[in-house]
Amino acid sequence: MQATTAFASEMTWPAYDAAVKNGTTPILIPLGSMEQHGHHMPLHVDVLLPTEFARRAAIEVGGLVAPAFTYGYKSHQKSGGGNHLPGTTSLDGATLVAALRDVIKEFARHGVRKICLVNGHFENSWFIIEAIDLALRELRWDGVTDVKIVVLSYWDFVGPEALAQLYPNGFPGWELEHGGVLETSLMLALHPALVHLHAAVDVAPATFPPYDVYPVKPDWTPPSGTLSSPKEASAEKGQILLQVCTAGIVKALVAEFG
């Protein structure tokens, strides 16, 4: 049955049941966070972006997008500025693992056999894997052995050609792309009313020692909260990212789900 919406939560239960009960419809689950993204962007950037990539990919492959995880694992200082910053609201790892494990098992109970987890918050990564491992193990105990799960982060589909267009003066590295050119450009392309580029702080790429300290040292994080400058961001660069990442995600889903 062809759904009239890409979002599972907008469907009636009979329409949803008809779409997923035979196991052929992929479910895409965006995973984000509530995390500061500098002076120029809102706290739910990491929710908005994977949700939009999931929506675009779902339309292409005949899938459905599940409600996003709006809280994620704790912000790491070297990739998100740190969990000490105002606005950042995080889950313990065990909480995230347990919630995602339960959601995966519930979709399997509905009949879903193809699941894609679309991550938009770097720090979620290992907890996603743990949740999958536990969910698949418990499903096997119930005799369900045919669930397949794809895990991806949209930025992993940005290749050298796109990087050259996005960062003509040199790429600072993914670990410093927090509130920088990539996320800001995507937000300018998708949600320009939520971006206040005039308020963006032009900072040099953050530098960190090759070790971590806990409790964190707040002075290691640039006061703006961003780890590199967003000043070179543009909606045009956002369109490049939308095309490249969506195409990559769709290609991956076709390869794995058929």
* Per-position pLDDT tens, the chain of length 258: 456 899 999 999 999 999 999 999 999 999 999 999 999 999 999 999 999 999 999 999 999 999 999 999 999 999 999 999 999 999 999 999 999 999 999 999 999 999 999 999 999 999 999 999 999 999 999 999 999 999 999 999 999 999 999 999 899 999 899 999 999 999 999 999 999 999 999 999 999 999 999 999 999 999 999 999 999 999 999 999 999 999 999 999 999 999
Rounded to whole angstroms, the Cα distance separating 215 from 179 reads: 23
Looking at 40, 44, 46, 177, which residue is catalytic? 46
Instruction: Give the per-residue pLDDT at 99.
Output: 98
**Has residue 1 been placed in a domain?**
no
Looking at 44, 52, 177, 178, which residue is catalytic? 178
* DSSP letter, residue 29: E
| 236 carries an active-site annotation | no
Element (H, E) at 53: helix 45-61
**Has residue 220 been placed in a domain?**
yes
**Has residue 79 been placed in a domain?**
yes
**Has residue 101 been placed in a domain?**
yes
Looking at 40, 44, 52, 123, which residue is catalytic? 123
Instruction: Give the per-residue pLDDT at 4.
Output: 82
Sign of the torsion angle spanned by Cα atoms 28, 256, 57, 178: positive
Question: Which residue is it, tokens 């580029």?
Answer: 197
| 46 carries an active-site annotation | yes
| 175 carries an active-site annotation | no
Instruction: Give the per-residue pLDDT at 3.
Output: 61
| 35 carries an active-site annotation | yes
- Domain carrying residue 242: 8-257
Looking at 35, 40, 44, 52, which residue is catalytic? 35
Looking at 44, 52, 177, 183, which residue is catalytic? 183
Looking at 37, 40, 44, 177, which residue is catalytic? 37
* Helices 13-20 and 93-110, axial angle in degrees (round to 10): 80
Spatial CA neighbour of 249 closest among 148, 124, 119:
119
pTM for this structure? Answer: 0.96
**Has residue 186 been placed in a domain?**
yes
**Has residue 2 been placed in a domain?**
no
Instruction: Give the per-residue pLDDT at 23.
Output: 98
* DSSP letter, residue 86: T
Rounded to whole angstroms, the Cα distance separating 157 from 250 reads: 11
| 219 carries an active-site annotation | no
Spatial CA neighbour of 27 closest among 83, 67, 73:
67
| 121 carries an active-site annotation | yes
**Has residue 25 been placed in a domain?**
yes
Domains in the chain, number: 1
**Has residue 149 been placed in a domain?**
yes
Looking at 40, 44, 52, 121, which residue is catalytic? 121
CATH number of the domain where residue 112 is located: 3.40.50.10310
Spatial CA neighbour of 72 closest among 134, 120, 39, 40:
120
